[in-house]
Amino acid sequence: MIRPFLIALLLLGLSVPASIAQADPTDQIAQALQQSDAGSLAAYFNETVDLGLPDNDNSYSASQGEMIMKDFFRKYPPESFSIIQKGTTDPDSRFAIGTYKTGSKEFRVYIQLRKEKSDYRIHKIKFEEK
């Protein structure tokens, strides 16, 4: 009787870390930046998103943010993007810092995610020229 209970408990314990790992969209966001895919990136935007870009620094709706990122990717197509640091500031906030290389320019990218309901959403993304 105890044996089936222990097996179920073990299986439940193994599935919890996988579900926690799936809640962090940092890898998908990095892939969208690498591929200059504004649509995939915008899928992770909060209802409003703060964009800090070389020619534009403001808050936008998710759909406006997507259009602005499309323009940014047109002006600065990526050669590469890589995450150099990830972390959490509290249970409902995460961040990632990366390097975005394009042509002769290189940007440090700061991404701030906040938990909205059960998903992490991009609250702020900032590109600072190095």
Q: Whole-prediction pTM value?
A: 0.81
What residue ranges define each of the domains in the chain, with the CATH number in brackets? 24-129 (3.10.450.50)
* pLDDT tens sequence across 6-20: 444 445 454 444 344
- The stretch 87-94 carries a mean pLDDT of 92
User: Phi and psi of 88, rounded to 5°?
Assistant: -125, 145
Q: What is the mean pLDDT of the chain?
A: 87
What's the confidence (pLDDT) of residue 104?
A: 87
Closest by CA position to 83, among listed 73, 71, 72, 95: 95
